[in-house]
Amino acid sequence: MAGQQAAMTRMAKAHESVVTFIGPVQFPTVQWTHDLTLAKAIIAAGYNGPVEPSQIMIVRNGQAVPVDPKRLLTGEDIPLLSGDLVQIAQ
């Protein structure tokens, strides 16, 4: 819970152009760029879970959008926006 609160605090800082991660990653924040996608961000964050993610959620403006991890493996990708929060569960 404390990790989620810290992530939400970081996300609330409007002047920062980052995407924040909750889950098994090496780097909990990734610098946002105009061409940043979910797959690119997961790689940049250094996903280090022992298995493939079972669930991914993108939280944008308080709305949680589930993403099927298998979609990423088939080449589908989702653009991210500055301030997005990505939750990865195993």
Q: Categorize the per-residue pLDDT at 90 as very low, low, confident or very high, splitting at 50, 70 and 90.
A: confident
CATH class of 2-89: alpha beta
- Helix spans in the chain (H): 2-12, 38-45, 69-73
Model pLDDT for residues 15-63, shown as the tens digit of each residue: 469 999 999 999 999 999 999 999 999 999 999 999 999 999 999 999 9
Percentage helix, strand, coil for the chain under 3-state DSSP, each rounded to 5 = 25, 30, 40
**3: which 2 tokens?**
């990790």
Any idea of the CA torsion for 55, 20, 2, 14, to the nearest 10 degrees? -140
pTM: 0.80
